[in-house]
Amino acid sequence: MKGSGAYLLKSGSKRRRKQADIRGQNSEQEMADLEASEHQQKISQLEEELSRVQQERDNNRAAAQILTNMIETGDAEMDASGSVKVSKRKSSSANIIGNLDDVGF
């Protein structure tokens, strides 16, 4: 067997890379790097969204606890449909301005 084709058939032979092969591999690497960058950006956006949703959840829990306390103390009432309305009666926990108005200041 003579020629370069026969040489490539030998075990352990190495083929010399052509410039086109190198450019192709470089462009593949650039595409992989771009995809990795886009994935990292998407991960960052999702982490920010998760943080925002967790903050909103914590705020909603706190608001629910406040409403529950108001209902338990009688400062608010919940009707059959689930709507919460502030009671008309004055509570002992009225704000300072309301308390000052009651005293006559």
- Confidence grade of residue 62 (pLDDT, cut at 50, 70, 90): very high
d(CA 47, CA 50): 5
Q: What is the pLDDT of residue 34?
A: 92
**Cβ neighbours for 66, distance < 8 A, ≥ 6 positions apart:** none
Render pLDDT for 2-59 as a digit per residue (tens, 0 to 9): 556 665 566 655 666 677 777 778 888 888 999 999 999 999 999 999 999 999 999 9
Q: What is the pLDDT of residue 74?
A: 85
Of 62, 86, 61, residue with least CA distance to 74: 86
